Structure 1
């Protein structure tokens, strides 16, 4: 003490209890001056990042590929779907087979009743031809060989022409005209079926079955 009323000894104030300046929160320390960090290190104890390593990219097959990886099943060159001509051949074969079986049953009943002539007897062969057409059409739609469908179509065409030849020798003019009209209506189905069944797209698609 110096005897002056406005003076105060500094030893009377405990350390750390002096009031902080205006606008500074208690316990706040002024920031330290920035010091540049050496390259490759970061402050606060974080690991440093060095220069990125450059080099040629690694070439090789992607993961999961290799000599031991399973091979994909072969795909028909024209696409994974069924060709339109194969679908047409199978559907026409089923339609022609169903009609042939129906007509064969009617002619069989007529012949057994004694109401038919030689042409009707020949057309009775349409019954087994129709069954073969049905079988071949279903097989082709299931991606099996079209050979059965093609052979059944040719057999149906042969039966129709044979019925025309027999009818020409046993029927009168009106009967021949009626038989000719029937053959003209019945012939396109087996002919188109045989053509579609032997097209390269149909045969190749059926042969490429996995």
Structure 2
């Protein structure tokens, strides 16, 4: 504002509405785009503006999940029946069955070794009645080995029990024969041998006939 009456404030005339200058061509007037106020939320080019987004209040709420269900996992309910044991005393091998099988293998190995030595001695001409009888320890030892291995594989302990009894009978028979054919020193030596050798087949026979051993072998699946 300069105070002149013929002057006009440019702010009062919106852009695009001023008259064309004197002598301007009609095309110039057509190029003047009249100004119109733009609605809120749009740019001057007619595209959506970046005003406040039109989102309503977020629909937050409690999650759709219920309270955690504590308890045993599925399939492990308290009322689920347990698998029956393989045999009444449990699924494992009884200790007496293991002892019978191991003792049978040890007694069989020693009997086979002793039987081979006595066989060689008898064939060499150094024979006596007790040595000939003790040669029967060779087949007894083979039967003890077979029975011990069978029992550890959960087969019937009958072979092991029978072989143990046969070994005991052979030892007592050797003592009877030696008492009639050997001198006092020979009888003492044979007696000491029998005392050391007898516990193995006796214990093997006892363990092989215990109810736990027989029941475990009989309940083989």
Where on the TM-score scale, by shorter chain, does this alignment land: which range? 0.5 to 0.7
**CA contact 2:20–2:28 (8 Å) conserved in 1:** no
Distance 1:24 1:73 in 2: 110
**CA contact 1:41–1:47 (8 Å) conserved in 2:** no
Instruction: Kindly name which structure, 1 or 2, has the bigger radius of gyration based on alpha carbons.
Output: 2
- For structure 2, the residue ranges without an aligned partner over 5 or more in a row are 46-50, 60-64
- What is the Cα deviation at residue 116 of structure 1? 2.1
TM (normalized to structure 1)? 0.67
**CA contact 1:40–1:48 (8 Å) conserved in 2:** no
Distance 2:24 2:89 in 1: 81
Q: Deviations over 1:62-90 (max 9, x none)?
A: 99999999996861221111000000000
Q: What's the RMSD between the two structures over aligned residues?
A: 11.8
For residues 173 and 77 of structure 1, do their structure 2 counterparts lie closer, same or farther at Cα, with a shift above 3 Å needed? same
**CA contact 2:151–2:217 (8 Å) conserved in 1:** yes
**More divergent stretch after superposition (53-62 vs 103-112):** 53-62
For residues 105 and 6 of structure 1, do their structure 2 counterparts lie closer, same or farther at Cα, with a shift above 3 Å needed? farther
Distance 2:138 2:120 in 1: 12
Structure 1 runs, 4 residues or longer, greater than 4 Å off: 1-74
Distance 1:84 1:12 in 2: 113
For residues 199 and 41 of structure 1, do their structure 2 counterparts lie closer, same or farther at Cα, with a shift above 3 Å needed? farther
For residues 172 and 60 of structure 1, do their structure 2 counterparts lie closer, same or farther at Cα, with a shift above 3 Å needed? same
For residues 111 and 79 of structure 1, do their structure 2 counterparts lie closer, same or farther at Cα, with a shift above 3 Å needed? same
Distance 1:21 1:200 in 2: 128
Match of 1:48 in 2: 54
**CA contact 1:157–1:190 (8 Å) conserved in 2:** yes
Distance 1:24 1:124 in 2: 144
**CA contact 1:111–1:121 (8 Å) conserved in 2:** yes
For residues 18 and 37 of structure 1, do their structure 2 counterparts lie closer, same or farther at Cα, with a shift above 3 Å needed? closer
Give the secondary structure class of the aligned counterpart of 1:156: helix
For residues 58 and 120 of structure 1, do their structure 2 counterparts lie closer, same or farther at Cα, with a shift above 3 Å needed? same
User: How many matched pairs?
Assistant: 210
Distance 2:92 2:22 in 1: 84
Ranked by relative contact order (alpha carbons within 8 Å, sequence separation 6 or more), the top structure is 1
Q: Deviations over 1:125-152 (max 9, x none)?
A: 0000000000000000000000000000
For residues 188 and 36 of structure 1, do their structure 2 counterparts lie closer, same or farther at Cα, with a shift above 3 Å needed? farther
- For structure 1, the residue ranges without an aligned partner over 5 or more in a row are none
**CA contact 1:119–1:166 (8 Å) conserved in 2:** yes
